[in-house]
Structure 1
Amino acid sequence: MMLELVDVHGGYGRTEILHGVSLSVPVGGAVAVIGHNGAGKTTLLRAAVGLLNVTSGKVLLDGEDVTAMAPHQRVRRGLGYVPQGQQSFGQMTTLENLQLVAGRDRAAIDEMLDLFPALTSLLQRRAGLLSGGQRQQLAIARTLLTKPRMLVLDEPTEGIQPNVVAEIEQVIIDLTRRGDLSVLLVEQHVGFAMRASQTYSVLVSGRVTSTGEAGAGAADEVRAVMAV
């Protein structure tokens, strides 16, 4: 497995948000975590990437116990994280945002522009002037420039237009088909999650209540579980 969370408990102060969560992401696979607001999805990702100390349980990355490691140490071991909110350096141009990671490696930047062609005509535009969907594409591209083997995405479709959702979905599918990138995707958009992943877990009040194989046929089942 590329990423494993084993009986993870954690939260903020005395408030426990995660109550024994276990899930795993296989090498080259995509797993979606689905749940309503307040279910603990972002807290789960923060525990996975090292931004939240777990009170008990383990986080394994490519078989190595990284539970006590800082986020930058996990990044060096192949973890990439795209947080919620289309984050970018707003006063810098699109190109400058990419160069922060790629430096003078224009080939690497061109590879990202092949994945997200909409950014090609926006290289000299300040990131703060991009649409939400364009900023999300930039955030994902910048993270992919670190060459992660494990990509963690927090609500990549939140607040962005449907055509960009489709483009991001296709990028995730194409990258996982290569077999060298694993994806953990937190999402409320059930249809997107079912198309972009192979398996899913439903998170309710900090607990995994349902898991299964993703796909169009599973969407109604997942919606029914979430409605309970």
Structure 2
Amino acid sequence: MTLLEIDTVHAGYARSTVLHGISLTVPRDGVAAVLGHNGAGKSTLLRAAAGLLIPSRGAVRLDGEDVTRLRPHQRVARGLAYVPQGQQCFPQLTASENLRLVADGRPDGRAATDEALDLFPALRTLGHRPAGLLSGGQRQQLALARALVTRPRLLLLDEPTEGIQPSVVAEIEAAILSLTRRGGLSVLLVEQHVGFALRAAAHYHVLEAGRVTSSGVGGAGAEEVVRGVLRV
């Protein structure tokens, strides 16, 4: 079954169209990966899914509901969480304060925070440290943990392994797989790290110049196919 459907979406900025009729789906309790070179439209696709960019044509459906015209906070209320590129955090606040900003006011905020920290235990010992002083990998874990505190049904991840050391990439991959195997979470993963993406994803889509040029099933054998399509 499908949780997110991107249906013939055209979107861009001002008079520049970046996405040209993109259609893809994210399975319920599964991972779909979007791969492509810089400038292919991957981040624009996530912005359209998150509600930060309204398509000029086409539709975005979340669990069967047309959310194309809904604002980002309305999509968040329906179970969407977005982790943008760049290990974003509030640098002057501690790691714990970054998490409390999301948890406060939620009836299950403390339990959700504990569950997120179980996935990234290094953050427990770094809670007192200003987020701006964390390493890139630690900030990315913090950004993911903060999104998970909202208990999303759909997690949009934009290049979560960019500039991250291999050991942390492995931890992020393990966390994503653990969450989706547990059930209740779907992930749309935008990634340039082909191996990571195809290990995590049940399905993949390759973007080139704002169009889906190849789709398939992840797992064994898919990496060679995708590398051939991307010429990497």
Shorter-chain TM-score range: over 0.9
Deviation at 1:178, TM superposition (A): 1.3
**Residue 5 (structure 1) shift:** 0.4
SS at match of 1:2: strand
2:204 to 200, 203, 213: 200
1:164 Cα deviation from its structure 2 partner: 0.3
Which digits, 9 at most, give the CA deviation of each residue in 1:37-67, with x for residues without a partner?
Answer: 0000000000111101100000000100000
Pick one of 112, 116, 120 that aligns with 1:108.
Answer: 112
How far did 1:118 drift?
A: 1.1
Determine the C-alpha separation between the residues in 1 that align with 2:53 and 2:117: 33
Q: 1:48 is matched by which residue type in structure 2?
A: A
Aligned-partner Cα distance in 1 for 2:197–2:113: 27
Matches within 5 A, 1:76-115: 76-103=77-104, 105-115=109-119
TM-score (norm 1): 0.98
- What is the 5 A alignment of 1:10-159? 10-103=11-104, 105-159=109-163
Measured in 2, the distance between the counterparts of 1:112 and 1:20 equals 36
Q: SS at the partner of 2:174?
A: helix
CA deviations over 1:77-134 (Å, ceiling 9, x no partner): 0101000000000000000001111128433222111110111110000000000000
Normalising by structure 2, what TM-score?
0.96
2-structure distance, mates of 1:86, 1:103: 22
Question: How large is the RMSD of aligned CA atoms in angstroms?
Answer: 1.0
Work out the number of aligned pairs and report it: 228
- 1:191·1:216 contact (CA, 8 Å) conserved in 2? no
Q: Which runs of 5+ in 1 are unaligned?
A: none
**Hey, what's the Cα distance between the residues in 2 that align with 1:12 and 1:216?**
37
